[in-house]
Every structure is written in structure tokens, then in C-alpha cells.
Amino acid sequence: MLKTILLLTTSNFFMTYAWYGNTKTSTLPTWKLILLCWGIAFFEYCFMVPANRIGFQNGFSGFQLKMTQEVITLVVFSLFAVFWLKEPFHWKYLVSFAFLLGAVYFMFKK
């Protein structure tokens, strides 16, 4: 389980940077930016595909893998938005995350 979570987290760092890293600094033409981001996203797949395979082979259902990935995505993006994009973190985001964690709880409940 830990290996799956670590791989998912790593893949999300790459994807978050590929999607949002260019938003405040890039002066490249859009077509070049697309190619650059596509290259970065390649590394996301290098971690995401094994994460899903390992997770599924170790008892995660497809639904559980997706829900876990979404929570990781939100955590990674939150850190990215605060530290890279310099956006404020509002209390309403914590409330929203609490509801999502509730969804995760029910997803894994036997």
C-alpha cells in the first residue's frame, strides 16, 4: 500500500507541474509549451502506471485507486498552489478536503 501511495504522489508532482507550472512564468508559444508539458507528463505516466498496477495487484479496487489518487492530487496541488503559485489557502478548502476524506473513508470501509 505504501509503495502505491508513494508512486501516486510522485506521479502527481510531475502532472501538477506539467499542468500548472507554466501558468505564471512561461513566455513560450503555446505549441512549444504543449510539447514541453507533454514531455513532463511522460514521467507522470512512468509512476502512475506502476502505481495502479501494484495497487490493484495488492488488493486496491479501481474505485479505491482513483479516490486515493484524487486525494493525493488535492494535497499535492494545495502545496503547489501555496508555495509555487503563491495563492492563499482559505478555510473553505479545508472543509472541502474534509468532505473528500469522508468519501475516502466510506470508499475503504468494509
pLDDT tens per residue across span 32-54: 989 999 999 999 999 999 999 99
pLDDT tens per residue across span 60-105: 999 889 888 988 998 999 999 999 989 999 999 889 888 888 887 8
The structure's pTM equals 0.80
Angle (CA) 50 56 94, round 5°: 85
Q: What is the DSSP letter of 28?
A: S
Residues near 54 by beta carbon (within 8 Å), at least 6 away in sequence: 3, 4, 7
Of the two residues 28 and 79, the one the predictor is more confident about is 79
Residues near 41 by beta carbon (within 8 Å), at least 6 away in sequence: 14, 15, 18
